[in-house]
Each structure stands twice: as C-alpha cells, then as structure tokens.
Amino acid sequence: MSNPLTRLVRDTAYTLSAFVLGVVGFVLAVVGLAVGVSLLFTVIGVFVLAATVYVARGLAQLERVRMERLLGADVPRASYRVAGPGDGWLRRTATPLRDPQSWLDVLWALLSFVTGTVVFAVTVAWWAAAGMGLTYWFWQRWLPDGDDQGLAELIGLGDSRQAESLLMLAIGLAAVVTLPFVVRGCAALHAGLASALLSTRGRLATPGQAQASAA
C-alpha cells in the first residue's frame, strides 16, 4: 500500500499523461478511420483500417500497463482474434477488423481524448490553486496597485492586501486538503472508462472462451 504522497504523485502522473495520450490516440484514430473508410472500395482501405486498429491496440495495451503501474489496478489482458492457418493474405489482413475488442480499442482511442482533457484540466486547476494560494503572500508584493477589486473585497472581507492574502491562503489550504481526493477521483474517472472498454471482455472470458477466440 503506497503512502498518500506517492499515491498523489502517481495519480497526478496518470491524469496529466492521459491528455497527451488522448490527443495522440484521437488524432491517429480519426485520421486512420477517415482515410480507411474513404478508400474502403480498394484493398488499400482495408490495410489502412487494419493499421489503425493495430495502433489502437497498442495504445490500449499501453493504457492497461499505465493502470497497473500507476494505479495498482488488476487489469486482465484482452484476447484478440488471430488468423487461421488456412486464411489467405486478405483475410489475414482483415482479421483484426472482425474482432470486437479491436473496435473497443478504437472507441477508447476516441473517447479517451474527452476524459483525458477533463481530468487534465481539473488536475492542473487544483494544483495551481494549491500552489497559488499557499505562495500568494510572497509574490503579492510585486502585483501592481490598481482600481480593480480583489476577490476579498468582492465578497466583503475588506480591500486590504492582508485580507486578500489571507483569503488566498485559505483557498490554497482548502485545495491542498482536497487535492488527493480530487486527483484520485479524476484518475478513477479516466480509468473507469478504460476498464469498461479495455478489460470487461477479458474479465468475463473464461479460459476456454479465451482459447476459442484465439483459434
């Protein structure tokens, strides 16, 4: 069982990297599907779609590893359909296109961009609130005096720099206290979708079914 600080660091790494991988997966999936479908009347389209599916598989496997290493989750491996020994080259090429898990991987590549963006934004906002609030008393002195109302004045706590500094400190402390729970929730949100799309079939499959799907 990892200590709270280690858990927070791992959850943060998971949510921040989710955005990067989500962008990569979304772009590759959208481009691959668009090109593959537009060329589907030719053999090239089959190759492009198959290549897109294999890329999605790779990203799905990377996500399973991330969930295991960073979140400590128990993630069963998915079993994919493989070509039969007597299949021709075209049928072998199209084998991943006949595999339901492959399309779930593609769906993950598309949807992970959405959850990845959300958890990235929330994580960055909470870390920023914690850092800004706790250090505001230090760098407040370099802020120019102006006619704009501060947050403390807007909510009726006074218009002095001390009132603003104390309010920011309170916000920072609140962000620090809630940070582990918020980031943990963000990680759980992203990992929950990943688990549903990438691991459900692996959990439900019996050993016999797994062997049959690979046959």
Q: Which residues of the chain have pLDDT under 70?
A: 1-2, 142, 145-154, 156-160, 205-215
pLDDT at 154: 67
Could you please report the per-residue DSSP string of 92-140?
Answer: HHTGGGG-HHHHHHHHHHHHHHHHHHHHHHHHHHHHHHHHHHHHHHHHG
Structural domain that includes position 143: 16-214
What single-letter DSSP state applies at residue 56? Answer: H
In a domain, 8, yes or no: no
The whole-number pLDDT of residue 10 equals 94
- 114 within a domain of the structure (yes/no): yes
pLDDT score of 55? 95
| For the chain, the helix, strand and coil percentages under 3-state DSSP, each to the nearest 5 | 80, 0, 20
**Structure confidence at residue 211 (pLDDT):** 43
30 occurs within a structural domain:
yes
- Between CA 49 and CA 28 the distance in angstroms is 11
Instruction: Return left, alpha or beta for 158; rule: phi > 0 is left, psi -120 to 50 is alpha, else beta.
Output: left
pLDDT value of position 49: 95
In a domain, 102, yes or no: yes
Residue 187, pLDDT score? 96
Number of domains in the chain: 1
- Total-model pTM: 0.84
pLDDT digits (tens, 9 = 90+) for 149-184: 666 666 766 666 777 788 888 999 999 999 999 999
Asked if 165 contacts 143 with a C-beta cutoff of 8 angstroms, the reply is: no
Confidence (pLDDT) at 139: 73
The predicted structure's pLDDT at residue 206: 47
Per-residue pLDDT at 85: 79
| 1 is a domain residue | no
pLDDT for position 146:
60
* CA–CA distances in Å: residue 176 to residues 9, 170, 180, 203: 13, 10, 8, 37
Question: Is 6 inside any structural domain?
Answer: no
